[in-house]
Amino acid sequence: MPPAIRIQLMLKGCANRPVYHIVAAYRKRRPHEEALEQIGSFDPMPNERNEKLVAINFDRLKYWFGQGAKPSRGMGCLLGLAGYTRVHPITYMRAWRARQAKLDEQKKEEAAEGKEAAAS
């Protein structure tokens, strides 16, 4: 039986400026229903130093984990990157795909430069 309470990200903010609240909520709640408790926030938009800001009350997070709450997939990735839990496997897959896409793009650029050099 899955846990009744989940640690998840709740979308707040306005158009083109998302802000997420990190909340403990019932798993089967309606999308705009209030959560049990807000335990942090996450700003996914990079600031002027190219940082994404996260604020988490780790004491309350530990309390909810003690009550049997499980993190959602997105929250699991975020907690893994924060160093609180082990890194979620999806994080490794996303990083590998990003590296492969960058390598493919570099190969295409090199091939295009080679064709231009051969044509001139």
Percent pLDDT > 70 in the chain is 97
At 46-89, the pLDDT tens digits run 899 999 899 999 999 999 999 999 999 888 888 888 888 888 88
Where do the domains of the chain lie, and which CATH numbers do they carry? Answer: 1-71 (3.30.1320.10)
Sign of CA dihedral 3, 25, 66, 81: positive
- Top pLDDT among 58 and 1 is at 58
As a whole number of angstroms, the distance between CA 16 and CA 119 comes to 45
Q: What is the pLDDT of residue 120?
A: 67
- Top pLDDT among 22 and 86 is at 22
